[in-house]
Structure 1
Amino acid sequence: MTEHPTLVLGATGKTGRRVAARLRLRGTDVRAASRSSATRFDWSDPAGWDAALEGVTAVYVVPPSVPGPVHGFVARAEAAGVKQLVLLSGHGADTWGDSPFGRDMRSAEDAVRGSTLDWTVLRASNFAQNFDEELWHGPLLAGELTLPAGAVGEPFVDLEDLADAVVAVLADPGRHAGRVHELTGPRSIPFPEAVALISRASGRPMAYRQITPAEYTGALVEQGVGEEDAHHVTEMFALMDRGLIAATTDGIATVLGRPPRTFEDYVVRAAAAGAWGR
C-alpha cells in the first residue's frame, strides 16, 4: 500500500466507487468518503473536511450541485498539504454560456485552477450508465423514457472509461497537471436510437418520447426535485438540443492510449448482466 492515502469524494456514487475499487487494486491506500462512508464527508458540513483531508496526498473531487463550497475545500486541501486534485466536470463547460449548469461547473473549475496544487479537470459527457443506474433506469423498465431531447446526439461516455481515466491521471500527475481533458464516447447517439438499442439487446419493449422542457420540469418537481434544481436539469437538455455538447473528442485516447468503449459495448454488457431484466 502507498504511504499516503488518496481521498475519493462521493465514494458510494457512480464514479467514486469505481475509482476507489481501481485504486485499491493498484495497491493505493484509499480513503473513501461520502455522507454514508466510514470517513464522513458532506459538502454542507465544512467542520468535517479537515479530518477527511488529514495526511492525504491526492483528492478525486466530485463537486456538489452548488459550487461555492469547492473554493473553501480547495483552501483546506492546500493547508492540509495535499499535492494533487482531480476534478470531475461536465463536457464543454466553457461553451455553456450563462446557463446555471455552466456557471456552476466553471466555478468549481476556477476553484481548482486557482490553487497552488497539481490539478487536472476531467470534463465528462453524460454517462452511458445513466440508462441502467438510477436516472433513466426506472422509466425504461416501465417501457417509456420521456425527455426534452430531440434528434441531436449525445456522446455518452462509459463510466468504466471515465474511472480508468481518473486513476491514470492520479497515477501520473506530472503528465496531466494543469490540463483539461474532455472525455466522451466515440460517437454521438440520439436518445431514440439509444433506447432502441437497449430494447433490442434486452428483449423488452421500450420507447422514447420527446416532451417539452416545461413538461419535463413539471415532472421532476412532481417526483420531489426542488424547482430550482429541476430548472437546472432541464437547461442541460436545452443546451444538448442546441448541439453545444454533441461533439466527440479524443480525450479518452489521450489519457488511456486506447479508443473509448462504444455505447453498443455498454449495452451488450449491461443486458448480459440483467440490467433491464432477463
Structure 2
Amino acid sequence: MAESELLEFHRAIDRSESTKGMYVYRAILYRDGASGGRFYMRVFRPGMSKADVDLEDLLAEVKSQQAGPCPGAGDVGGEPLLVDIAQVFPKLPPSFMSVEPQADLYVKKLEIGLYDNPAFHKARRDAIMSEANVLEELRRRPHPHIVKYLGCMVEHSRIVGFVLEPYKQTLLQRCLAKETPLKVGRCIAQIAAALAHLHDMGYCHNDVTPRNIMLKEDDTAVLIDFDSCQRMGETLLKGTAAGWRDDASRTSVVKNDWLGLALVENFLRKSFGANE
C-alpha cells in the first residue's frame, strides 16, 4: 500500500475584529495512500511547521480522542474530511489539451486552500479556469520568453494542475545566489517583449516580480505564473504581490506590468550593477 502524501499545509489566522491576527489552526490536505482520495483536516498545533507534519501521528491522535464530544469531520481536532474535487476544480473543456505529467516536466499543482469554507469554492474554480484560458491561448500563440505550457493535468475530468516546461531557477534565486553576473538589460528586454506579446493578445500579467521570472541554462528569461493574468479592464481577482504593485490599482491594466518590470529592473541593478 502506498504511503499517504502531504499535499498542502496552511497556517490559518483569525481575521475577526475581536481576535484579529491570532493563530487559529493548521489546515492540512493530504492524499490517502489506500484510497487515493484527497482529505482535509484541521489541527491545533501552534508550533508545527510543514516539515514537522507526521500524518500517521495526526490521524492516530484523532482516533484516540475519547473524552468529550467528537468534533465533526473537517472541524479542528475532528476526523479528516473527504474532499469533493468537483467543488474546487473545474471540468476540462473539450477543446483544452490534457497531458500526462512526466519526470522531465514541471507540474504546477493547483492548491485547494481552506476547504472548510464553501463560500470560496466557486471563486477557486473560476480562478483556475481564468488561468487555464490564458495558458490555452498561449499554447496557440506561444512566445519564446513566456513559459511553455503543454496541457492540463486531469483527474476525473477535472483540471488539477498545469504541465509546463521546467527551467533552471527563478530570477529571485539567481539574485540571492549572486553567481556569475547577469546581463540585466538583456533580461529586462526579453520580459518586456513577453509583456508586449500578452498586451497584443488583450491581457495583462499583473504580477511581474523576480519570483515570476525564470532563467534557462543560458540565462534566457521566461515569464511564468498566470494566475493574476486577466483581460485588460477586468477587475483584478488576485493582483500583484505586495511591494511590486500600484496599491491603488483594482483593474487589469498595462501600467501594472510596466511598473512591475521597472521595479524588477531596479532590484536587478542593486544586485548586478549596470551590467548589460
TM-score (norm 2): 0.30
Higher relative contact order (CA 8 A, sep 6+): 1
Instruction: Give the strand-richer structure, 1 or 2.
Output: 2
Instruction: Give the helix-richer structure, 1 or 2.
Output: 1
